[in-house]
Each structure stands twice: as C-alpha cells, then as structure tokens.
Amino acid sequence: MTISRRSWIGAALAALGIAAVPAFAQQGPIKIGIGISQTGTLGGGGKAALLGLRMWVEDVNQKGGLLGRKVELIAYDDQSNPATTPGIYTKLLDVDKVDLLIAPYGTVPTAPIMPLVKQRDLLLMGNFSFQVNHTVKHDKWFNNAPWGDASSWTKGFLEVGQKAGAKSIAFIAADQEFAQNLANGAKAVAKQTGLKTVYEQNYPPSTVDFSSMIRAIRNAKPDMVFICSYPNDSVAIVRAINEIGVGPTVKLIGGGMVGLQFTPIMESLGSSLNGIVNYTSYAPGMKYPGIDEFLKRYHAKAVEAKVDPLGFYLPPFNYAIGQILEQAVTATKSLDSKTLAAYLHSHEFKTIVGPISWGPDGERAKPTVPMIQFRNLKDKDVAQFLQTGKQVIVYPPQFKQGSAIVPYDKARKAK
Amino acid sequence: MEFSFDLLKEALIFGALLGCFYAAVSVGLSVSFGLLDVPHIAHPAFMVLGAYGAWLLGTHGFDPIVAGVVLMPLFFAFGVAMYRFYYETFEKRGAEVGVRGLAFFFGIAFIVEVGLILAFGVDQRMVEAPYIGRSWEIGDMRIPMRMLVAFATALVLTGLLAAYLSRTFTGRAIKAVAQDEAALRLMGVNPVRIKQWAFGIATAVTTAAGAMLIVVGPVDPSMDRIYIGRTFCVVVLGGLGSMSGTLIAGLILGISESLVLTFFGASWAPAVAFGLLLLVLGVRPQGLFGK
Amino acid sequence: MKFWISAAVALILAVAAALTVKNEYFFFAGYVVLQFVVLATAWNILGGYAGYVNFGTGAFFGIGAYTAVLLVKSLGLPLGVQIAAAALVGAALGLGVGLLTLRLRGIFFSIATVAVAIILQTAIFNWRYLGGATGVQILRPEVTPPFDNYIKMLFVVGTLLAIVAVAVARYVETSWVGRGLRAIRDSEEAAECTGVPTLRLKLLACVVSGALMSAAGAPLPMYQSFVEPDSAFSLNYSVSALAMPIIGGTAHWLGPVVGAVLLGTIQQLVTVTISSELNVLVVGVLLVLFVVAAPEGIVGLTSRLWARFFK
C-alpha cells in the first residue's frame, strides 16, 4: 500500500507542532523519494528503517530544513518484491519529481533499479544492500551498510570457526541477488583459506520447507554451516534446525541470515536462536557517539507506531543516511547528483554510527561486520535483548564481548 | 550430493506424510471436478481461504485442527451458495458455457487471492501449537510432529469422505449423479440439490484441509498458485472421482516431491507436480483408476 | 482499406507523441497498455475464435522476454532481431503445447497451459546464465535517433507490434481460418464431420497466438532494465490477457483492443494512485461481472444497443 503524501505531511506537522514551524523559503520543499518494504519478507526491517529516516526528516526540519527549504519524504511500499521497484522509482522521478533518491532497503529490491539510476546518471544512497553495484558499477552509489565485499562479511565467521578447528563447510543460499552475492563471495574465501565444501544448495526464494535440506546437511556432517537467507526463509530455517537437528559435528552455524536482527523475529524465535552465530550491524555494548540517545528517542516513537521497539539493526543507519545527505547538501549548496557525488567520494562523514567514508565502488572504505552469538534466550521476551550477554559479540576485536561457544549443540544449552 | 540410505529412508517417510496431506487437500476437488464436472480452478484459493480462517481463529486461541472443524459448516453453506450461483448462471444454459465457466472460476480465484492480500497483507502467517516445532525421534530419524498430525487428520478426513460417498444414500446419489442424471431423476431425487450438497461438502472438506495447510507450514495469499498444480495433478493422476485413486496419487506426488527436494535440490521442486500432471495428461489422461 | 488508414494514423500519432510529449511516465505507462493490446489480441485468436481457453499467457510472454535476454547477453543483438527471434520461439512453443494438449478437452487444456508456464519458470530457475531466480540486470544500448529516450522509442515499437497483432487477428477472423475456428468453437464434432481440418486449424491458431505473445514479451528486459522469472512468467499476465478480450468482446478483433485499452488504462491509473493489488482486484471483479452478466463484451453490447436504437 502507498503511504500518501498528504498523511505524511499531516503527521510531520503534528509532530513538529504548528507553533514551532520555522519560516521556510518560498521555493517549495526538497523532495526525497524512496521505495521501501513495509510488507513482505523485508517488511519488519523496512518499517523500522522508515521510522529512523522520518526521525531525521523531523530533526532537520526543526533546524530550518535544508538550504532553507523544508524536506519532504515521499515513500512507497515495494512489498519486498523486486518487480515493483522499477515502476516505483520511475514514478518518483517522473510523477512526484523528487530531488534526491534513497535506495530501497535490501539488495533484492535495489538490484532492479541500478541500471535505471546509472542510465539517468543519478545519485543513489544505498540502504543495506550487499554488492548490488558490482555489475553495473555506477559511480554515484553510496552504501550505508558496515560491510564491503564478501571477505569483510565472512572474515569473523570463518576465523572463529577455523580457530575452533573447523575443516569443512556447507552452504545454503537463497537464489536471489543478496544471498547469491554473499554465497559466491564466501565460497571463494573459503576455498582460499583451505576449507572443504561438503554440501551446497541454492533454493528458490519462495521455499517454505527446509526439512529436506537440513536433513541433507546433517547427512554431510560439516564443521561449519554458512547460511545466506532472507527473513521468511531465515525463520523457516531456524525452525527446521531446531526441529530436525544438524548433528553433533557442526561447530558453527549461521553467518548471513537476514531477519534475525529484526526485533519481532528475535522475539518470536526466542530460545530457538540460541547458539546461532550471525552478523548484525549493532548490538548493545557497541559505543558510537550519539547512538544511545538516538535509540532512546526511537524507542518512544516505535512503541507508539507499533513498530520494532528496539531498533538495533536499521534505524540508526537510516538516520545516518539523512545525516550524510544533510552534510553534503549543506556543504555543496546543491542538489545536483554530480556535485554531491564528487563531495561524497572525497570526504568522511560523522554519523551516529561512527565515521563513514567510501571506496571507489561506493562501498565502505573501512568495513567491519560484527558477528554475534545468541545465548541464553528465553521465549516471548523483548526486554531481554537490551541486556548484554544475549547477543554476545564474538568479532571484531574492538567490540568483542566473549568467545564463541562451540560446538553448536553445546552453545544452544549454554547459560 | 551424497547418497545414503538413511537419507533415502527419511525422504520416503517424509514424502508419504506429505503425500497423504496432498491427497486430503485434493479430495474436495475430486468431488467437485471429478464427480460434478465443475471447472473449479478456484479450489486451491478456497483452501488458502480456509487456512486464513484457521489463522484468524488461532489468534483467538483456537488450535488449528479445531478451527478447521469449526469452520466447516460456514464453508459448507458458502459452497452450496457458490454452486447454486454457478448452476443458475452457466450450467443451465448449455455447452457454450465452457469458456465462461472456466473464466468465471479463474476470476473468483483471483478475487479471493487479492482479497486476502488486501485484508491480511502479503506477509506469511503461522500458527503455534504444541505439535508444531517438535519432532518424533526414532533411531537416527527425526520426523516433524506437524507432519504426523497433518497425516493423521488427512487420513481421517479422506476416510470419512470415502465412507460417506459409498455408504450413505446421499453419498451414493452424488456418485450416481455423475454417471446417470436421468436415472437419478427417475428415482425421485433432484439432481441439482444433490450437486449443491456435494459441492458444499467438497468446500467444507477443503476448508479443513486448509487448516492443515497452516499446520504444515506458513501460508501467504499467493500459495493457491502452486497448489493448482498439486491438486489437479493428484485428481487427474488418481482418476476423476476415485477416492482411493486420490490417496494413491497423493502419495505418488508427495514421495516424488520429497525425493526431488532431497536429491536434486529445491530449485526443481516447483516443477514436479505440474510436470507429473503433463505426463499423465499426455500418456494416460484417465488416470490410474479412472474410466 | 479503412483499417489500414486508421492503423497508419495511430502510428503517426504515436511517433508525434514520442517527439513532443515531455513527461516520460506517459510513455512508461502507455507501453504497458500497448503490450496488453498485443497479448489480448493474441489470446483471442485461440480463446475467442476457437474457444480454447489458454491460462498460460505468462509462459509465452516470459519465454519471449528470456529469449531477448539470451540474445542481448550473448550476442548483443538489436531489439528488432530480439522480437523476431522471440516470435519464432513463441511459435515453436505454441506448436509444441498444441501437439501435447489440444486433444484434451476444456479445462484440461487450460490447466496444461498453466503447467507449461510453471515448468518453463522452473527451468529458468536452474539456468544461471539467465540469472536463475535472482534475475538479471540489463543495460540498455544507446537509443537510435530521432528518439531522445529509449522508453519513447519502446512506445512506438509497442504501437507497431499492436498494429501487427491486430492486423493478423483481423486476417484470421475474416479468412477461411476464422470460419473454421468458429466452427470448432460451436461444435468440434460437427466441424470434424463436415471435413474441417480441426487439428491443423487449432495448431495454426496456437502457433500464431504464441508467436504474438512472445513478441510482446521481447521488449520487457529493455523496458524494465531487469527481468526475473517470478514476474515474467506470472499468472497475472494470464488473467489480464483473458479478462481483456472477455470484457471487450471475443467475437470481433476490436473487442480485445477495447478491453486492453480500457482495462489497461484503469490498471495503470490505479497502480499510480492507489496500489498494485487493487489493480489485480479490478481485473478479477470486472472479469467475473462480464462473464456473468455481459458475455458478448463491450463490443457485443454496443452493437446490440446500436441495433436496438438505430434500426
């Protein structure tokens, strides 16, 4: 469903309080357009991300807007379906006539519009995609995610596994842009480090039953299992792992499962997550300037909007997109894609998730992907995630809170 | 892929459980299409509707199987009304009907699917029950409880329906109406009322099957599309109108899918049902037990 | 003669619009409507004239799109060649499907066509070079002058395809082929008894219909810059291709055109202003309404009303 412009303006005005609206320049608002999942497999994350973005829009408008003009966010729901995004972004550009574009949340909805933005030579602010620019090679793409290429993502996982003596690895990956990018990269890294692949399987994104795959994995007796999946499949896979079991040889399982960072999913899976080692972008205990205050403000709004109440994964990074745009537009006094892109390529930006700068491919110059192990989780308890010791950071060293417990069967029961 | 007999054993067992479930899901179609000759493309859509009904009741604390039973009378009435409408609009008018009847049910299927999207969104829905998520351990094998529950319910449902059709007067009349309507009329039975009743029962059974669907796994509104393949494959393979045929065909399909999933990968699984269907249509269109 | 004059006028108008209208979205949405004119017209050749309801429009459309992808990725061939190749592939598929399924009656034929769509989609899932389930990104080549924009050029290409499709349908309808198909629709047994070569005619209809549908699918990769199997082979195309002729009228070649323009425009308006699900609902509801209450479609209705009031 679309989020109508009118209802957004109404909400924004109400939030600001009419009395506090400063005088905006007569030129009309600066329109920022985005298609972002509010339903479908990525919807849980998309809703939280959009709230983070809107918080930035409110904050910037309270300070007087950008270049003296009010900022207006036009958002449509892409339903996590890549078939909708070319139409949505064409509409944003030709019907709504937006000035700036932010990419959809996630690789799969973003992949279809990369040729479009390249051909129109427009700036696109990435939103947690993985290597989505590697074929098109657009020079005006800037991704906010903490990862770069596959080795930056898999480093933590493979290192922990190999330190525990792992020699073989199994891969399951969804047949979609994100999972394939990650799995291909991971397989290359695994080969380089001398790991033996004993099982690999791609599945169509609509697969709902994983019991056959988990059974096959158990049969293959791998030391590590690297999974690249989207939220719906991640949930089904976690349930299948708990239902069927992967066998006693598995030391480490997880790695690239999207969705296990969304609070509603963490809450509903509860104790079935115990022992899984997976990536994230932020976990309690990581210190960034301004993040604690942001999360507190976010929590209040999220509870009211009935959205992911903790907001660990996406909202801070979406707020950061806003901060980056704010700094770049203010410094260059321009909305032109070429000018902004040149500025973005040559500067580092301060955000609530730390300093951000990019390499020539538009991905992070200094990527670091935290790996956490879920431990000691109870069912149906949201508040437990605020404590440390539930998502124990096992990598990177600068944030490390503990060592991973191996093998997986032992970690599941650990306290 | 490494082949092992353990894996094969588990795949066969899982396939049999799945197959029985497929049979239960198709048995309603065997009646409505097999016996009554209604081009009921919307059958899987009604099943998904039943699944959502079970989910809705589940949010109020109903166990899904209980929800399925509770919904049956409601859907029986819905089935009767639907058949009545179809009969008045199409069947009465004769043979030209073919295209229009098909198009009608195709349209209905889409309306149901989109209606579900508008009402519930595209997100997957699941239910919770004590038997969902646990498995039964025998030796080295782990058999998911949800499959066992679905299997048991499917057997009961199919068995009851088969018994109804062969032991009761109305049941036998339903079978008769497919073979010789005129003879039935001579016996003083109104064929239209029989057909209406049969369609109602078929729809009710399908709803109970829908409740099982949400036990077996998560549901979303567009699931009716893949089930068109599965249900029609089972019904055609089994032979139109044959209950035992439906069960055996269901087992064949379930086991084939399970074997493909385990040994050839999930990327070929969607084609199994439809491929089997085309094969049957090409080689032996009357199915295993059809005339 | 009247037909060819109006066709020429339509083409001239399309080119003029492409050279003058500024807003790109008009062409983006307009192309989709033209695409449906081709699909609806093609469907009607088999469905309306012969009475064989094809639920597998998605299969032909998708295979046309993927033929184009294959040619562009491997050899970089231009759009015209892609369309021609797609038409050939579609014709071959139509022949194959026809041979396999035309002996089956009514609903079995229809279900078999759905089966073909899913099987083709699954085959693409397993073909990594064409992107598998992930999909493939396509970069458009430089646009040929006098057009300044690829979408505007596609709009004109779409108009041409629509004209070709309608011309073919009109020829089929008014020729001996059409007479034979109508005989088959009314009573296949009687037609056979009177010596109509039913199988050959049905196969011809399948081949022609399939070729046109695949030709309609060929520009899709260029249009969207991205193709993935779930949407390319989608059952949604099948519903629309079936609903538009039924709503417009299946007896005359004008019916699918009216249905496609009307329904297609409504769909685009609804998608832009409200949501894309609602547009599928609109199709479904209108289909059911017309099938139940107005089986001759808009064209049939208007000619009846015309006869009543003006004769």
Compare CB distances from C111 to B99, B118, B277 and report the shortest one's residue: B277
B87 lies in a domain? yes
pLDDT of residue A18: 42
Asked if the model's pLDDT at residue A69 lies above 90, the reply is yes
Asked if the model's pLDDT at residue A7 lies above 50, the reply is no
DSSP string, A78-105: -TT-TTTHHHHHHHHHHTS--SEEEPPS
Task: Identify all chain B residues contacting C278, using CB atoms and an 8 Å cutoff.
Answer: 114, 118
CB B44 within 8 A of CB B26: no
The two structure tokens encoding residue C190 = 């009687």
CA distance A272 to chain B (A): 10
Asked if the model's pLDDT at residue B72 lies above 60, the reply is yes
Please report all neighbours of A, defined by 3+ CB atom pairs within 8 A: B, C
Tens digit of each residue's pLDDT (9 = 90 or more) over A251-278: 999 999 999 999 999 998 999 999 999 9
CB C167 within 8 A of CB C42: no
Question: In angstroms, rounded to a whole number, what is the distance separating the alpha carbons of residues A56 and A319?
Answer: 6
* Mean residue pLDDT across chain A: 90
Long-range contacts of C264-273 (CB under 8 A, 24+ apart): C264/C32, C264/C33, C264/C36, C264/C37, C264/C240, C265/C33, C267/C32, C267/C240, C268/C29, C268/C32, C268/C33, C271/A87, C272/A91, C272/A95, C272/C25, C272/C29
Token match 């989609």: residue? C121
Question: In angstroms, rounded to a whole number, what is the distance separating the alpha carbons of residues A12 and A34?
Answer: 17
Those residues with Cβ within 8 angstroms of residue A220's Cβ, 6 or more apart along the chain or in another chain = A170, A198, A199, B2
- Cβ–Cβ of C292/B108 closer than 8 Å? no
Task: Identify all chain C residues contacting A81, using CB atoms and an 8 Å cutoff.
Answer: 231
C241 lies in a domain? no
**Chain centre distance of CA A186:** 18
**pLDDT bracket for residue A21 (50, 70, 90):** very low
Task: Identify all chain B residues contacting C291, using CB atoms and an 8 Å cutoff.
Answer: 100, 103-104, 107
Mean pLDDT computed over C99-119:
84
pLDDT of residue C161: 94
Percent of chain A with pLDDT over 90: 74
SS (H, E, C) B81-126: HHHHHHHHHCHHHCCCHHHHHHHHHHHHHHHHHHHHHHHHCCCCEC
Asked if the model's pLDDT at residue C231 lies above 50, the reply is yes
Tens digit of each residue's pLDDT (9 = 90 or more) over B126-181: 888 888 888 888 877 888 888 999 899 989 988 999 899 888 888 888 888 877 77
CB of A176 less than 8 A from some CB of C: yes
Closest Cα in chain C to A111: C137
Q: Report the 10 Å Cβ neighbour count for C306.
A: 10
**Interface probe, candidates C228, C236, C271, chain A, greatest A C-beta count within 10 A:** C228
pLDDT of residue C300: 86
Closest listed residue to residue B49, CA positions, set B28, B19, B23, B20: B28
Q: What ranges make up the beta strands (E) of A11-106?
A: 30-35, 71-76, 100-102
Question: In angstroms, rounded to a whole number, what is the distance separating the alpha carbons of residues B127 and C178?
Answer: 54
C159 lies in a domain? yes
Task: Identify all chain A residues contacting B10, using CB atoms and an 8 Å cutoff.
Answer: 215
B289 lies in a domain? no
pLDDT of residue C24: 82
Q: Report the 10 Å Cβ neighbour count for B16.
A: 17
CA distance A403 to chain C (A): 36
Percent of chain C with pLDDT over 90: 46
C52 lies in a domain? yes
**pLDDT bracket for residue A14 (50, 70, 90):** very low
Percent of chain A with pLDDT over 70: 94
Q: How many residues in chain C?
A: 311
Q: Which residue has the higher pLDDT, B176 or A250?
A: A250
Mean pLDDT computed over C220-235:
91
Tens digit of each residue's pLDDT (9 = 90 or more) over C129-179: 998 888 899 888 887 777 778 888 899 999 999 999 999 999 999 998 888
Closest listed residue to residue A320, CA positions, set A298, A346, A340, A291: A291
**Chain centre distance of CA A189:** 22
CA distance B138 to chain C (A): 35
Asked if the model's pLDDT at residue B263 lies above 90, the reply is no
Those residues with Cβ within 8 angstroms of residue C291's Cβ, 6 or more apart along the chain or in another chain = B100, B103, B104, B107, C246
Those residues with Cβ within 8 angstroms of residue B165's Cβ, 6 or more apart along the chain or in another chain = B31, B171, B172, B174, B175, B243
Question: Phi and psi (nearest 5°) for A98?
Answer: -75, 160
C225 lies in a domain? yes
Compare CB distances from A243 to B135, B266, B269 and report the shortest one's residue: B135
Those residues with Cβ within 8 angstroms of residue A267's Cβ, 6 or more apart along the chain or in another chain = A380, A381, A382
Token match 């609530």: residue? A352
- Cβ–Cβ of B123/A43 closer than 8 Å? yes
Angle at C300 between CA C294 and CA C302, to 5 degrees: 100
Those residues with Cβ within 8 angstroms of residue A374's Cβ, 6 or more apart along the chain or in another chain = A260, A273, A274, A275, A276, A278, A390, A391, A392
DSSP string, B134-174: -EEEETTEEEEHHHHHHHHHHHHHHHHHHHHHHHSHHHHHH
Angle at C270 between CA C268 and CA C273, to 5 degrees: 105
Asked if the model's pLDDT at residue B97 lies above 70, the reply is no
CB B151 within 8 A of CB B17: yes
Range of the domain at B82: 5-121+130-283
Mean pLDDT computed over A211-216:
90
> Roughly how many angstroms between the first and final C-alpha of chain C, as a whole number?
26
Range of the domain at C210: 2-233
* Mean residue pLDDT across chain C: 89
CB of A207 less than 8 A from some CB of C: no
| Strand-pair category, A277-279 with A252-257 | parallel
The two structure tokens encoding residue B18 = 């799945």
Tens digit of each residue's pLDDT (9 = 90 or more) over A71-90: 999 999 998 989 889 989 99
Question: In angstroms, rounded to a whole number, what is the distance separating the alpha carbons of residues C174 and C261?
Answer: 23
Q: Starting at the edge strand that comes first in sequence, how are the strands of the sheet with A30-35 ordered?
A: A71-76, A30-35, A100-102, A124-126, A141-143
**Taking CB atoms and an 8 Å cut-off, how many pairs form between chains A and B?**
74
Q: Which residues of A325-353 are buried (b: 16+ CB within 10 A; e: fewer)?
A: bbbbbeeeeebebebbbebbeeeebebbb
Q: Which of A152-161, A293-302, C143-152, C158-167 has the lowest mean pLDDT?
A: C143-152
Asked if the model's pLDDT at residue B99 lies above 80, the reply is no
Question: In angstroms, rounded to a whole number, what is the distance separating the alpha carbons of residues C98 and C54?
Answer: 11
- Cβ–Cβ of A112/C137 closer than 8 Å? yes
Asked if the model's pLDDT at residue A11 lies above 60, the reply is no
B181 lies in a domain? yes
* Mean residue pLDDT across chain B: 88
Tens digit of each residue's pLDDT (9 = 90 or more) over C255-284: 999 999 999 999 888 877 766 678 788 888
Q: What's the CATH number where B262 sits?
A: 1.10.3470
B44 lies in a domain? yes
B288 lies in a domain? no
Closest listed residue to residue B16, CA positions, set B195, B251, B245: B251
The H-assigned helical ranges of C76-105 are 79-101
Total domains present in chain C: 1
Token match 């006094």: residue? A333
pLDDT of residue A16: 44
Mean pLDDT computed over C13-39:
88
Question: In angstroms, rounded to a whole number, what is the distance separating the alpha carbons of residues A211 and A213?
Answer: 5
Q: Is A278 exposed, middle or buried (0-12, 13-18, 19+ CB in 10 A)?
A: buried
C252 lies in a domain? no
Question: In angstroms, rounded to a whole number, what is the distance separating the alpha carbons of residues A311 and A287?
Answer: 15
B150 lies in a domain? yes
The type of residue at A35 is G
Compare CB distances from B104 to C100, C277, C292 and report the shortest one's residue: C292
Compare CB distances from B267 to A203, A219, A232 and report the shortest one's residue: A203
pLDDT of residue B231: 93
Does the CA dihedral C278-C282-C283-C285 come out positive or negative?
A: positive
C154 lies in a domain? yes
Query: What ipTM was reported for this prediction?
Result: 0.87
Q: Which of A6-20, A380-394, C75-89 has the lowest mean pLDDT?
A: A6-20
pLDDT of residue B88: 85
Closest Cα in chain C to B232: C111
Tens digit of each residue's pLDDT (9 = 90 or more) over A344-373: 999 999 999 999 999 999 999 999 899 999
Question: In angstroms, rounded to a whole number, what is the distance separating the alpha carbons of residues A360 and C35?
Answer: 40
Total domains present in chain B: 1
